[in-house]
Structure 1
């Protein structure tokens, strides 16, 4: 680590910048074992997280297509799935503070038969991970309401869970468990006020990875064991299936960072998170404040993956293939994306650097950087409802 400290640079080339964040993560982990010895090396290398304004958040989302790819694919699938319904209810689990929904609201406003009434329900707590916003989720709901009124779309916004709007913290295991259990208690038709004549949409945007993944009744000794006995994450998906949603859309990063082995996580993490560092290098100067802040957010992720264990390690990302298997085990069937959605996503990627691309893997759409998988998008229906015939390719 002393050698790397002299080589790595937070303002160097992409590899040096990525290495500097891995070094900080290793120092953070080592300092828990021998804090005095590591103190001088640690210096001021603390990952700082700044609260963004709504305008700054919009710029953050637009910087690279990491989030917009999922917005575009999901909204297109949702729009098609809710055709013919006069009421739409979106149960939104996302880390980007409802930035996805203005585009959908705008599309619904232009429906030839007129817009449906739209209800969005969000949990009151979220993982304490970037991006962080300087307004409450209730304020976000008010802003969406103003926009919906301007677009003449009837709108309602609800918050479920803890009324104090606390966040999940990476340092409080009891709070993490309590708030997750509170969320589970709210996932029922009565608490959500589900209605028979509305199309229920469940939206997961970079969110499933933050759910606890311990097996009920004990710890899994291998990845294979996780499929034999339900984990809390699997139980959550089973509860979502029981809500009888019209469509479920899932978007997340396509890498397996849920291994128990530290060396495995380090290797996978390094071979995956070079992508945003390399992408930012193509169009932003080395000393750009916006670039440094974005990389700092990635550094927060790296520190949690490497520096923490147990429930304090909240970054527990599964690959797209593993997530898809979990969802199938919960009783869902995948829906392929239509060519119109593919065309919309390709149009979005044309607005960004030429290194970005898209490919199909089974029923997934996958965002790529220089041919390497970065983000996946999937759409699903439950097998216990009348939506089995829903086909986004029609």
Structure 2
């Protein structure tokens, strides 16, 4: 992708001017609110337009010319017009929103430029937001991938992009160093409490790093307490990790999976006595849906008395302000993610389509459809504070991450560039940034920061 094209796609600096233009477009097109029964035909027609787009996808080629830039700007205007109409203060202008979404589907392709591709999922999300789960059309826009397909998409993203690997390797480096600092007192025992263990992809690299430190006469005992979204997923994660750890005779792994539905607060955690205790929070806190959930989670975190809390979160302010401003922020972030995949996978790659449809696209739909504004306190007060401020309020202080963490992150990007499958031959758009006097390390894509890692220790009184 040409440099000026990338800047145009990723800046999306429409701001107030775009919202003003969107409002004017809506005023011109608004015909008055109709009830949902009368709009069924419009949604049926919208699905037909969407199906035509999907069928035509195989005949469209990826390009990045000047004309595509103009089309991208048009798509953004249409999406914002649909979003503005969908959340109109009078209850939503269904006709205007559906008309705008129809124009989006006529303009985009799943093999187009990043804005075209990401727009498909935002259009689906807006259509589903206007409907209700009871509508016969709802599932057409919100088709949920099976757990097997989700796992496949996550695996493809993990292999192709440095996104998750940066988060996991940076966190693991800090964990190893915390273990080393207490090696004389911990008796070779490390207890990691993972608030979102997911598929467990973070932990094989930690197991290997600890094994490199251990000996047959001085083995290391690693206990992982991991929270998961399903019992089956936790069982599969345990099986993978135990199988991997069995390859090392100088490390003993004990995995304890906790289904979040049985213990939403985490108060049943049993701490490994005399071990170095580390809390791992990677992409977890931002998913909490209320100020009460956040407060409860942080209270539990503090009560565990950990030597280290590793915090990795997405950059951005998706939950602040009204729906339109959060929609815009989400569009900016997602456009950067889709654009970054061009450096990792070919435009016609089935892996790229799998990632965008069943991982990134699924997340977009979930965020837009479920992104309500019921908790005004959460949206406008609590999350105006940074996670650093919230951690400091409960008794933690941010620590400086080591130079090894930065070096390892930069080495990761260098290695990923060597295995790039694109014609560009490198992951040149990705970059590692050390900030806040070395207290945070971020992964960026061009001029956008994607995720940031930081570490916290309990404040000494």
Measured in 1, the distance between the counterparts of 2:333 and 2:300 equals 31
Q: Does 1:6 align with 2:80?
A: no
Q: Does the 8 Å CA contact 1:28/1:307 hold for their aligned counterparts? A: yes
Identify unmatched segments of 5+ residues in structure 2. Answer: 1-99, 418-426
Q: Does the 8 Å CA contact 2:225/2:256 hold for their aligned counterparts? A: yes
Alignment match, 2:410: 346
Alignment match, 1:160: 258
How far 1:323 moved relative to its partner?
1.8
Q: Does the 8 Å CA contact 1:252/1:320 hold for their aligned counterparts? A: no
Alignment match, 1:355: 429
Q: Higher helix share goes to which structure?
A: 2
Secondary structure of 1:192's partner? coil
How far 1:43 moved relative to its partner?
9.1
After superposition, where does 1:41-80 map in structure 2 within 5 Å? 44-52=140-148, 57-80=154-177
Measured in 1, the distance between the counterparts of 2:457 and 2:318 equals 26
Alignment match, 1:295: 356
- Further displaced range: 64-73 or 54-63: 54-63
How far 1:281 moved relative to its partner?
1.9
Per-residue displacement from partner, 1:112-149 (whole Å, max 9, x unpaired)? 664420101112436xxxxxxx9531232132122222
Measured in 2, the distance between the counterparts of 1:57 and 1:22 equals 20
Q: 1:47 to 1:366 in 2, by over 3 A?
A: farther
Per-residue displacement from partner, 1:164-211 (whole Å, max 9, x unpaired)? xx6xxxxxxxxxxxx5xx331x42xxx323133111111011111222
Alignment match, 1:273: 334
What TM-score comes out, normalization by structure 2 length? 0.66
Larger Rg: 2
Q: Does the 8 Å CA contact 1:357/1:371 hold for their aligned counterparts? A: no
Secondary structure of 1:299's partner? helix
Measured in 1, the distance between the counterparts of 2:174 and 2:294 equals 24
Measured in 2, the distance between the counterparts of 1:4 and 1:137 equals 40
Q: Does 1:146 align with 2:207?
A: no
Q: Does 1:245 align with 2:245?
A: no
After superposition, where does 1:15-34 map in structure 2 within 5 Å? 15-32=115-132
Measured in 2, the distance between the counterparts of 1:292 and 1:59 equals 10
Q: 1:43 to 1:10 in 2, by over 3 A?
A: farther
Secondary structure of 2:300's partner? helix
Per-residue displacement from partner, 1:250-284 (whole Å, max 9, x unpaired)? 11211111135110111101111111211112342
Alignment match, 2:15: none
How far 1:32 moved relative to its partner?
3.1
What TM-score comes out, normalization by structure 1 length? 0.77
How far 1:238 moved relative to its partner?
2.0
Measured in 2, the distance between the counterparts of 1:192 and 1:151 equals 27
How far 1:383 moved relative to its partner?
2.1
Higher relative contact order (CA 8 A, sep 6+): 1
How far 1:58 moved relative to its partner?
4.1
Alignment match, 1:228: none
Q: Does 1:195 align with 2:195?
A: no
Q: 1:160 to 1:305 in 2, by over 3 A?
A: closer
Q: 1:155 to 1:323 in 2, by over 3 A?
A: same
Identify unmatched segments of 5+ residues in structure 1. Answer: 127-133, 167-178, 215-230, 386-394
How far 1:321 moved relative to its partner?
7.1
Alignment match, 1:211: 288
Root mean square deviation, CA, Å = 2.9
Alignment match, 2:449: 373
Measured in 1, the distance between the counterparts of 2:413 and 2:444 equals 10
Measured in 1, the distance between the counterparts of 2:445 and 2:428 equals 9
After superposition, where does 1:215-226 map in structure 2 within 5 Å? none
Measured in 1, the distance between the counterparts of 2:269 and 2:295 equals 20
